[in-house]
Amino acid sequence: MDIGTYLISLGVVAIAGFTRGFSGFGSGLILAPALSLLFNPQLVVATILLIDMTAGAGVVPGAVRKTKWQQVLPLVVSAVVMVPVGAHFLALLDPTLLRRIIGGLILGVLLPLLCASPPGLERWGGCLEWFFDWPGRHRRPPHRALPDV
């Protein structure tokens, strides 16, 4: 690994760490797409899991006592079923294809957040117009320009 890759990785991990420190989550959303461009996606996902498990271990005892299990149980069942499926695909798929899938999933989650669109699609037209037309015009993004609904 050359020094440039090391410094970029260090910066990405620092930004993800600050994000997790302030919000308590979100480091994986930063680390997965960025580090997958530099390293093998299988290695990146395994590293993210180790970092998140280590970082979250200290809060587990207090969180277990306060957990509302009726609300959490569906998530636990979903995770028990889907984590092995994800691990299977992670082991089988080509790293280039995995990079594209990870990037597409992250963009699919973040684009609606950028647009701050409600469950309806009425703001998508303005968001897409802003996204594709923004370099040519100096307008504010739609989530700041449109009134709250």
103 and 129, same domain (yes or no): no
Instruction: State the residue range of the domain holding 142.
Output: 116-149
Question: What value does the CA radius of gyration of the chain take, rounded to a whole number of Å?
Answer: 19
- Confidence (pLDDT) at 82: 93
pLDDT tens for 85-110 read 988 988 899 988 988 888 888 778 77
Average pLDDT, integer, range 112-129: 57
58 and 122, same domain (yes or no): no
Which residues in 29-149 belong to E strands, given as ranges? none
- Which has the closest alpha carbon to 122: 88, 102, 149? 149
How many folded domains does the chain comprise? 2
pTM over cut 0.75? no
107 and 88, same domain (yes or no): yes
69 and 124, same domain (yes or no): no
Q: Which of 16-30, 75-89, 133-147 shows the lowest mean pLDDT across its residues? A: 133-147
Q: Which amino acid is at 66?
A: K
Share the mean pLDDT of the chain. 79
18 and 34, same domain (yes or no): yes
76 and 126, same domain (yes or no): no
